[in-house]
């Protein structure tokens, strides 16, 4: 069989690319060794957000009397929680499969290995082997869990971001090694579920790719919720004693010893490069990922790579839009997607989201800039939701263009897209300031922060001059 486009991997990058290719008239085959949807749908974004919703409800229940509602007690049915999560995942997998069929995209289940520049050999899941030829190949094999070189990191029973999803009972205590998005999200979820949670972050700040003004505030909020956070520490050894795990870590004040029922290794992910036969085909890559040009084409003509496998920001929505751009390039279309404007979200309590550059980056780049902050506590909708914690921080340059938007607060992951549109469209302060925002809404926090850049915010005490 011969195709216009062969795609290795059916995750967000692969299936977006497949559908866009079909829309443009290409014959497309996806090779997927497990389930459509990749890590994001099966073991990442979606199942964790299903758990996040459970945690969100539990956080509300802890303060339910503030709403004039009295509940004598409640319990958590872990089996039902897991069933709900599984049903959501299966529904979305089935939905993608239907989209593949509707767009006439062939899906082959098996492990794809590059044979030459135009051929992929597939070891089929149900046995046997076939070769598929194609004019173009897109590598979208994603990433895998990256375990740090800590003695004891391979102990039986240690959890990864994949293994922890299938918990049968809520751990009484959990140590999270890693202060990035994955670690802090799971820490927030299990804290709400009732676990005693400790986080060990090697970086001085949690969520280090986010605006420090927000992450420092978030750290304080999470500590108030009972999460123990140790920043700037290095886990150096993991042991098992009396049926529990013990993590030893170095701090500025000396060694600390943390004992818990479970340990989650959430120190990051690395590109999935093994087993594809990259060397034999001559594709340029290193431990950080496959090398590509602006159209996501490798050094081997006709072979492209997208998503986590090329490194950079390992986000599902990044992979998806890279897949669209790669296919459009294959089909002779100049892609208009702006890959430099990427919203980044962490589903914590409260949520945190960011797009554009932070204040330190503006300083380091020598940009003349202005900043403004507006607190959620001054927003009517936030107060009615019982979510007054948070703020919006915006950054503009000396041409009044919005260059950075950073939000901590309720529904920050939804609000950030107004910032993304502003930065993508090179909008200026007045473009936002002159746009009416409905009241009462959380979006007013963004509008007020923008007005603050001009000293015209309505619900903000004016700064003394």
Q: What does the pLDDT average to over 150-175?
A: 95
What is the helix (H) or strand (E) element at residue 245, kind and residue range?
Answer: strand 244-251
Q: What does the pLDDT average to over 448-455?
A: 96
Residues 6+ apart with CB under 8 A from 140: 7, 8, 9, 11, 13, 14, 17, 305, 306, 307, 309, 319, 323
pLDDT band at 149 (very low <50, low <70, confident <90, very high): confident
> Tell me, what's the pLDDT at 3?
87
- Which phi and psi angles does 255 have, rounded to 5°? -80, 140
Tell me the pLDDT tens digit for each residue of 357-367: 999 999 999 99
pLDDT at 465 over 60: no
Residue 350 preceded by cis peptide, ω within 30: yes
pTM score, two decimals? 0.95
**Distance in angstroms (rounded) separating the CA atoms of residues 160 and 157:** 10
pLDDT at 124 over 90: yes
pLDDT band at 148 (very low <50, low <70, confident <90, very high): confident
> Tell me, what's the pLDDT at 267?
77
pLDDT at 109 over 90: yes
> Tell me, what's the pLDDT at 35?
96
**Distance in angstroms (rounded) separating the CA atoms of residues 344 and 355:** 6
Higher pLDDT, 242 or 119: 119
How many beta carbons lie within 10 A of that of residue 401, not counting itself? 17
pLDDT at 205 over 60: yes
Across 229-233, 252-256, 298-302, 447-451, least confident range: 252-256
Tell me the pLDDT tens digit for each residue of 9-25: 999 999 999 999 999 99
- Which phi and psi angles does 449 have, rounded to 5°? -60, -40
**Distance in angstroms (rounded) separating the CA atoms of residues 3 and 302:** 13
Tell me the pLDDT tens digit for each residue of 304-354: 999 999 999 999 999 999 999 999 999 999 999 999 999 999 999 999 999
E strand intervals along 72-178: 106-116, 119-124, 129-139, 143-145, 173-177
pLDDT band at 464 (very low <50, low <70, confident <90, very high): low
- Which phi and psi angles does 381 have, rounded to 5°? -65, -40
DSSP states along 314-374: --HHHHHHHHHHHHHHHTT------TT---EEE--SS-EEEEE--HHHHHHTT--EEEEEE
Mean model confidence pLDDT for the chain: 96
Q: Are strands 262-265 and 173-177 parallel, antiparallel or unpaired?
A: parallel
E strand intervals along 140-233: 143-145, 173-177, 196-201, 228-231
Catalytic positions, written as ranges: 439
Q: What does the pLDDT average to over 216-235?
A: 96
Q: What does the pLDDT average to over 180-195?
A: 97
pLDDT at 268 over 90: no
DSSP states along 426-456: T-BHHHHHTS---SS-THHHHHHHHHHTTT-
Contact yes or no for 184/199 (Cβ under 8 A): yes
**Distance in angstroms (rounded) separating the CA atoms of residues 208 and 216:** 10
Tell me the pLDDT tens digit for each residue of 273-310: 999 999 999 999 999 999 999 999 999 999 999 999 99
Tell me the pLDDT tens digit for each residue of 133-147: 999 999 999 999 888
Tell me the pLDDT tens digit for each residue of 366-414: 999 999 999 999 999 999 999 999 999 999 999 999 999 999 999 999 9
Tell me the pLDDT tens digit for each residue of 232-252: 999 999 999 988 999 999 988
Joined tokens for residue 275: 């087993």
Domain architecture of the chain: domains with CATH:
2-144+270-330 (3.50.50.60), 163-267 (3.50.50.60), 350-452 (3.30.390.30)
Left (φ > 0), alpha (ψ -120 to 50) or beta: where does 25 sit?
left
Angle (nearest 5°) at CA 123 between 120 and 124? 115
């Amino acid at each position: 069989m011969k195709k216009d486009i062969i795609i290795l991997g059916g995750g967000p990058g692969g299936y977006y690319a497949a559908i866009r290719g079909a829309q443009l008239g290409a014959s497309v085959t996806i090779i997927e060794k497990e389930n459509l949807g990749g890590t994001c749908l099966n073991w990442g974004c979606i199942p964790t957000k299903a758990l996040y919703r459970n945690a969100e409800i539990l956080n509300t229940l802890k303060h339910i009397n503030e709403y004039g509602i009295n509940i004598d007690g409640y319990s958590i049915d872990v089996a039902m929680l897991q069933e709900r999560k599984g049903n959501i995942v299966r529904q979305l997998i089935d939905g993608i499969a239907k989209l593949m069929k509707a767009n006439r995209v062939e899906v082959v289940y098996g492990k794809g290995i590059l044979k030459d520049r135009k051929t992929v050999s597939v070891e089929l899941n149900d046995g046997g082997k076939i070769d598929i030829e194609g004019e173009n190949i897109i590598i979208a094999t994603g990433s895998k869990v990256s375990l740090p070189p800590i003695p004891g990191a391979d102990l039986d029973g240690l959890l990864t971001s994949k293994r922890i999803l299938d918990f049968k009972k809520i751990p009484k205590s959990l140590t999270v090694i890693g202060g990035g998005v994955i670690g802090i999200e799971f820490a927030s979820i299990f804290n709400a579920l009732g676990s005693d949670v400790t986080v060990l972050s090697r970086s001085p700040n949690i969520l280090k790719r986010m605006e420090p003004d927000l992450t420092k505030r978030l750290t304080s909020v999470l500590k108030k919720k009972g999460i123990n956070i140790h920043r700037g520490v290095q886990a150096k050894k993991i042991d098992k004693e009396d049926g529990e795990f013990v993590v030893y870590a170095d701090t500025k004040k000396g060694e600390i010893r943390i004992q818990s029922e479970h340990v989650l290794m959430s120190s990051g992910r690395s590109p999935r490069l093994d087993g594809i036969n990259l060397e034999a085909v001559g594709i340029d890559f290193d431990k950080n990922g496959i090398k590509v040009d602006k159209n996501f084409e490798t050094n081997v003509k006709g072979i492209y790579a997208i998503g986590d496998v090329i490194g950079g920001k390992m986000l599902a929505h990044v992979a998806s839009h890279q897949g669209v751009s790669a296919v459009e390039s294959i089909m002779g279309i100049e892609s208009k997607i702006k890959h430099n404007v990427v919203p980044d979200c962490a589903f914590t309590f409260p949520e945190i989201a960011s797009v554009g550059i932070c204040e330190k980056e503006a300083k380091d780049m020598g940009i003349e800039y202005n900043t403004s902050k507006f607190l959620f506590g001054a927003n009517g909708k936030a107060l009615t939701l019982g979510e007054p914690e948070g703020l919006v921080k915006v950054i503009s340059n000396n041409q009044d263009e919005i260059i950075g938007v950073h939000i901590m607060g309720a529904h920050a992951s939804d609000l950030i897209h107004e910032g993304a549109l502003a930065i993508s469209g090179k909008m200026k302060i007045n473009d936002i300031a002159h746009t009416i925002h409905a009241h009462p809404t959380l979006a007013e926090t963004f509008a007020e922060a923008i007005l603050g850049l001009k000293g015209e915010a309505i619900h903000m005490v004016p700064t003394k001059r």
